[in-house]
Structure 1
Amino acid sequence: MGLKTFTKSILCGTLLAVGVLNVNAQGKLYIIGPATEAGWNPGKSVSMLSDAGDANVFKATVYLKANEEFKFLTEPEFTKIEYRAKSADDVEVTPGVAKDITAVQGDAEDYKFHVTESGNYDISCDLGTNVMLINKSAYQDTNVNYAALWLIGNACDAGWDLGKAPIMPQDPSKPYVYSGVYNLNAGELKFTISPNAGFDDSAYYFSNPNDPGKMEFGTAGDHKWNITEAGPYRITANVADMTISFVKDSSAGISSVETGKDAPAEYFTLSGVKVTNPTAGVYVKRQGGKSVKVVLK
């Protein structure tokens, strides 16, 4: 083997190793393209949520427009690693048929996917096996444009810090419903569709000034919900009928003391989603009527 060939082999191997490291270290995945509500605006790209049982798997239920392009970002910008189709022959997606995705950085081989029928789709991407699976969602009554909402306002511990805003995920069986349990302070809040867009570029769900049990959506108007009593609340937002509820949840308080160790233990994400088989991570463990934050390794 000549020096030039040897050097090229070493360089390619090094680049491959760095690429694999960067891809596996992302922990995020976003859908972008005119097939989605975001268009080509990376700040409004649709955030996919990692599966509680497998950190390599990301899921979302969102509306895709027929014959319009989409691909996946690992950061809300175009300079990082992206997941795209492997070739021009692989861009058309057939529901229920697994599709290979490939990690690419740069403008070369920018093959984007498309579906042939508009509708809500359940999308799953496994970055461990580099496979995407898309199925038509059972729910098709209204368009589902976002896979999660984020709480912002001084009623949250993160305040107006978009980078720390608590996430409110979709209900897997009702993708138009977003819910979770949150410890709120006395103060005000609303919901953003993306923590990446910035305040001026995002759109919001905010309170109807005439009925706080109703939501409004858009960029104009800024009527927030006012939390008058601090404590844990289960928040449920329904974007199909634009209703919302805040229910005080006394069972959700996190205690520093754990009791009732003989009782069955239940695990929840920090946003209040129950996890049947928790893996390594931070959870709320509820046992014997008490809850405590735990770190599983």
Structure 2
Amino acid sequence: MKRLTYIACCLMAMAFATGCKEDELADLNKGDTPLALTLSEQTLILNETNRDKTILSMNWTSGSNYGTNAAITYELQIAQAGTGFTDPLTYFPGKTVYNYTFTTKALNNAIRGHFNTQAGTGITLEARVIATVAADNVDPQVSPVVSFSVTTYEPVSETLFLYGTATSAGWDNSQAIAMTPAEVPGTFTWQGQLSSGGFKFLTVAGQDFPSYVKGNSQNSIVLRTSASQTDNPWTISDPGIYEIEVNLLALSVLITKMEGPAYSQIFMVGSAAPNGWDISNATELVQNPDNLYEFTYTGVMNPGEFKFPVNRNSDWQQDMYMKLDETHMYLHHGGDPDDSKWEIAKKGYYTITLNLQDLTISINRLKLYMVGSATPIGWDISNSIEMEEDATDGCIFKYSGPMIAGEFKFPVNRNSDWGQDMYMRLDDTHMYLHHGGDPDDNKWTLTEDGNYAITANVEALTINIQKL
């Protein structure tokens, strides 16, 4: 009997140990470790060119739980020196976390926002960590204070727009054309058609200020914050395709006139294409207005072959873009005997993009996801439910499983910015393609919990919802 009791006690102890959470186990035996904070740097001069890099790491010891085996939670405080921590920046890293890091951008924003510092002016700060033990009659521990200094910067805009009579927007600032942020902080690019006329840059579409205008040379830019300042736009006298590169940190701009694509129209023909081999009705690709070298087709493709003629001449003697490999193409010259085509193995809804500048091609079949309060994952779009693609028809997507009363819709990816295309409700049995950024937000609604079979067809734009 004693042996059985001993075994039972051991099993209970094991069950208790395995039932503990990992962060609780980590706090079981902290001993008498004193709480101390160290910094990776004591003097920081922040520079926006490094805004996405880690600039400061704050590390601390565990402190003690005084033999209670209780969990310890931590609070990191940063205050202006000499204020006695009366109005600190406060962070709560949680249990079993002994480090907090800042990128240059995060630290700059935090210091400027909380302490209202001026760019280029240093501020002396103090930091400490408070450790609280989850047990009665145990006072919080406070680390010794560590001092450091930070010099902040005035951040440049993270958006930039192009407008003026040389552009399709004219001088209507609400129609200003968004430029593309580059990997290097403060830099933006744009490529497209410019007419004779002027242009300048806005930081916010629809607002005249702040803006950037021409400086004392063709390649310099000046920040303009009010109508009283000189307004000097750039002038285009030779219409054509241009590439514009702007660096707001260096206050520079590079404006380059390009040769332009060899063709302004590209078509698709083949047994996989919507109109088959009828070249006189070949499907026209859409030219990207911001990159005239880029042409795209979005729609249904069937199993079969395809290639890209540059016109719809029925004599078949025209130039065509043909397959070099799965991601590259070459220009076939009309009359030559070569005839290399791409193949589609499965019907589906595809996006096919050609770039005449680097002779690349991308071929991607649509995936469909489901998100919403009616779904098991709720509105967590980064974990949205991937619909099951039909075995033979890649335009048909299915879900079978639990749903609850609520709403749902179908994004085409899991991007957490919510700016992607989605299939939304037209009525109970039909849907339409919502374009990312548009204001419409029409969802289907379920009124009962239960198991459902949901089938969406992106070719027919139909949906079937059955409660099982």
Shorter-normalised TM range: 0.3 to 0.5
TM-score, with structure 1 as normaliser: 0.43
Higher relative contact order (CA 8 A, sep 6+): 1
Calculate the TM-score normalised by the size of structure 2: 0.28
Mark the structure with the bigger radius of gyration.
2
